[in-house]
Amino acid sequence: MISTKSFVPKLGTDELTELWYDFVDAEKLESYNSPVFTIEEQDALRRFYDLLECHYDEIPTTHSLDELSSSESWRIVSESAASELAVFMERGYLDEESEVT
């Protein structure tokens, strides 16, 4: 969601980052393990988590894409989100009806 600009006006940067932290924080990060998540996916989660932690306080709280256009931290975070998402999209979406073990 952070990699998709259309979510910013709808949710704002605060809500987008908080949605991320609902699923990934330092403790929860360890639960994303094999065999459900590949080593590459685990590494992508860690890289993005670390990057967001470094830039979180510098991201403006806004719903405005114009305001974000001048934020170097938002540019870095959103580009990283798109890059790390590509790692997950190699496999594609998981089937929500089936438990992966």
Q: What is the 3-state secondary structure (H, E, C) of 25-92?
A: CCCHHHHCCCCCCCHHHHHHHHHHHHHHHHHHHHCCCCCCHHHHCCCHHHHHHHHHHHHHHHHHHCCC
For residue 59, count CB atoms less than 10 angstroms from its CB and return exposed for 0-12, middle for 13-18, buried for 19 or more: buried
Q: What is the pLDDT along the chain (101 residues), one digit of tens a residue?
A: 666 778 899 999 999 999 999 999 999 999 999 988 999 999 999 999 999 999 999 999 999 999 999 999 999 999 999 999 999 999 888 777 777 66
What local confidence, expressed as pLDDT, does residue 2 receive?
64
Domain coordinates in residue numbering, the chain: 7-89
